[in-house]
């Protein structure tokens, strides 16, 4: 429900700030769609004191890279991507993976390690500010681009349809029973959102902030529910994060990437998927960890030893996507999509197996006086 109008928000943002669509996808869109992971890790760090936040971010990173690329490749028309933004964000993602692996190696997070993660994200944003100049160093100055220009300053700004324009629209008369049923189910939520989120065409930045707030509150309830469910079923926190919660919190990335890919902004979709992973690792992990250490004056302990090896496996997932695009000359199609989906399923099997074998007991004790309640 948030996602029908989200691309319009970021078109407004990128046009107002004179940012190209791929840079907007790697910053604003990535940060907004990563709000669930940020608040889930706050819950895991401050409330449950478990690994559900870390497991969610590691799992969602794989989901973003492989599952989103699979959805866009299989269900959208083949799209020619610009090699530069994909390469740029993949390199930064690999830097993030290397940094996180080194932090988790001793299963302890120190304040300076969390602080370095935040500094690296600011370095990433700083590099994006000079992205055009850096591109000129690697591109031929007079070479013709093989892809459509996705710069909002060189396109005519198209009319944007706001969220309020469709919230009360009933299904078409020829709609089937399932469409009518879905409309009835989601109408109360859409009405509530319409009453609390300003129009994108009037106050677009405030509209984005309210949407992020809604996503954050829902993410808290989701983390709360799955933590209790995992405790009762004796499922480790990390497995709950790697599977159910990772897929659930990555729904914003899937929806946003699918919509912008359908509209022809393929580079923005992939940069959103990869850029949100960079934001997840640098900010969604670094910020809660740093605040926890500063407030409680102790190190953050990572209970799951398997997550260190799972994090290192992220390098393989990023390589699969990039090499697949490289082999197809950066054309996102069904072949790349199928490879990504199969690789994601294999990753889940390996990661969950490692978690079960290396961690005999790793669930949040919600009945402890210092636990969930």
First and final CA of the chain: distance in angstroms? 31
Rounded CA-CA distance 45/364 in Å is 11
The string of DSSP letters for 2-35 reads: -TTTHHHHHHHHHHHTT--HHHHIIIIIHHHHTH
* Domain-wise residue ranges, the chain: 6-163+199-358
Quote the pTM value: 0.75
CA distance 203 to 210: 11
pLDDT at 112 (0 to 100): 94
Summarised one tens digit per residue, pLDDT across range 40-92 is 888 888 877 777 778 888 888 888 888 888 888 888 888 888 888 889 889 99
* Right CATH for 6-163+199-358 from 3.40.140.10, 1.20.1420.30, 3.40.50.2020, 1.10.357.10: 1.20.1420.30
Is the backbone of residue 365 left (phi > 0), alpha (psi -120 to 50) or beta? beta
267 vs 109, residue with greater confidence: 109
Rank 129-138, 203-212, 220-229, 337-346 by mean pLDDT and report only the highest.
Answer: 337-346
Longest dimension (CA), the chain: 67
- Percent above pLDDT 70 for the chain: 75
The predicted structure's pLDDT at residue 15: 57
As to burial, measured by CB atoms within 10 angstroms (0-12 exposed, 13-18 middle, 19+ buried), residue 351 is buried
CA–CA separation, 12 and 98 (whole Å):
34
pLDDT per residue over 191-222, tens digit each? Answer: 887 788 776 566 666 777 777 788 777 877 87
Interatomic CA distance for residues 274 and 25, integer angstroms: 9
Q: Which two tokens stand for residue 268?
A: 């923005």
Dump pLDDT digits (tens) for 271-303: 777 878 888 899 999 999 999 999 988 888 887
Per-residue pLDDT at 171 exceeds 80: no
What's CA 113's distance to the chain center, in Å?
22
């Amino acid at each position: 429900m948030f996602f029908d109008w989200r691309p319009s928000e970021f078109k407004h943002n990128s046009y107002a700030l004179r940012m190209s669509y791929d840079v907007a996808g790697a910053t604003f869109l990535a940060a907004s769609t990563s709000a669930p992971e940020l608040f889930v890790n706050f819950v895991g760090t401050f409330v449950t004191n478990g690994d559900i936040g870390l497991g969610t971010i590691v799992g969602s990173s794989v989901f973003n890279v492989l599952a989103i690329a699979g959805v866009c490749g299989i269900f959208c028309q083949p799209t020619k991507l610009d090699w530069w933004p994909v390469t740029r964000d993949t390199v930064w993602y690999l830097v993030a993976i290397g940094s996180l692996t080194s932090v988790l190696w001793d299963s302890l997070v120190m304040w300076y390690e969390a602080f370095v993660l935040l500094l690296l994200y600011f370095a990433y944003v700083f590099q994006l500010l000079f992205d055009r100049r850096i591109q000129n160093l690697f591109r031929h100055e007079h070479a013709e681009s093989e892809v459509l220009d996705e710069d909002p300053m060189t396109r005519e700004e198209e009319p944007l349809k706001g969220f309020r324009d469709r919230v009360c629209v009933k299904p078409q008369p020829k709609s089937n029973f399932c469409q009518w049923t879905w409309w009835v189910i989601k109408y109360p939520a859409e009405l509530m959102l319409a009453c609390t989120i300003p129009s994108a065409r009037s106050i677009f930045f405030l509209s984005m902030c309210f949407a992020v707030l809604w996503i954050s509150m829902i993410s808290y309830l989701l983390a709360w529910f799955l933590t209790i469910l995992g405790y009762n079923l004796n499922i480790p926190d990390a497995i709950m994060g790697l599977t159910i919660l990772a897929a659930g919190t990555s729904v914003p990335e899937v929806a946003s990437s699918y919509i912008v890919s359908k509209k022809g902004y393929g580079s923005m979709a992939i940069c959103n998927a990869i850029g949100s992973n960079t934001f997840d690792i640098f900010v969604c992990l670094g910020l809660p960890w740093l605040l926890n250490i500063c407030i409680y004056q102790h190190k953050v302990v990572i209970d799951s030893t398997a997550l260190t090896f799972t994090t290192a496996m992220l390098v393989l997932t990023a390589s699969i996507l990039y090499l697949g695009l490289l082999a197809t000359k950066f054309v996102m199609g069904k072949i790349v999509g199928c490879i990504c989906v199969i690789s994601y399923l294999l990753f889940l099997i390996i990661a969950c197996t490692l978690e079960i074998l290396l961690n005999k007991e790793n669930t949040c004790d919600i009945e402890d006086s210092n636990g969930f309640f």
